[in-house]
Amino acid sequence: MSFPNPTTSVKLVLLGEAAVGKSSLVLRFVSNEFQENKEPTIGAAFLTQKCTIGSKVIKYEIWDTAGQERFASLAPMYYRNAQAAIVVYDITKPASFIKARHWVKELHEQASKDITIALVGNKYDLVKNDSGEEDDSENSLRKVSIEEGQNLADEEGILFFETSAKDGFNVNEVFIGIGNHIPESNNNSNN
Ligand code: GDP
């Protein structure tokens, strides 16, 4: 007789400047789709998605803040009780990286002490050339280097990925990386 693996529920919030691709990353992870000129989400979107990592099953309860994080006083409502956060910036938009740094620091000051945070530089597809390699010419759209992202993540002791919601590059890896990092004490067994 075999028993199903216990499911760990994980509340996960997305934070980051408008239009960096938060909803698109969720859409890619949950339904493996991409919408080119996505209408912005109004209000907060809530989605769940199970993810099997080795012998663990994680049920992500994903809160996409849909721009409401702009209202500083509302933000703690979203990340209170969150076990995981994805802080997204757009690698072609330096201002979005500055904003991401702000969110990471705020999470460390105000969120749960054992929250798992992933810093995600999205829109990697925009810096690739026709042969799929990174365009390192002066015409490259990249405005935030991998080193800047990695250094911030190292300073803050958090995970770091560059992704493309558009072509799916590294998107599952973000959720798997978070799942691997969630402390065992967060486990519960509601399926
Ligand atoms: P949000 O406001 O952070 O939730 O951003 P959205 O997910 O609504 O995306 C904003 C815009 O960026 C939309 O037009 C998306 O189609 C586009 N977008 C999102 N992710 C990517 C990506 O990885 N690459 C490219 N090229 N465009 C993206």
- Going from the Cα of 26 to the center of ligand 1, the distance in angstroms, rounded, reads 11
**Pocket, ligand 1, Cβ cutoff 6 A:** 16, 18-24, 35-38, 40, 122-123, 125-126, 164-166
Block means of pLDDT (10 residues each) for the chain, 191 residues, are 76 92 94 82 76 91 75 75 96 97 94 96 94 88 97 98 97 97 62 46
| Predicted TM-score of the model (pTM) | 0.92
Residue 190 confidence (pLDDT): 47
Residue 127 confidence (pLDDT): 96
Residue 71 confidence (pLDDT): 63
In angstroms, the first-to-last Cα distance of the chain is 19
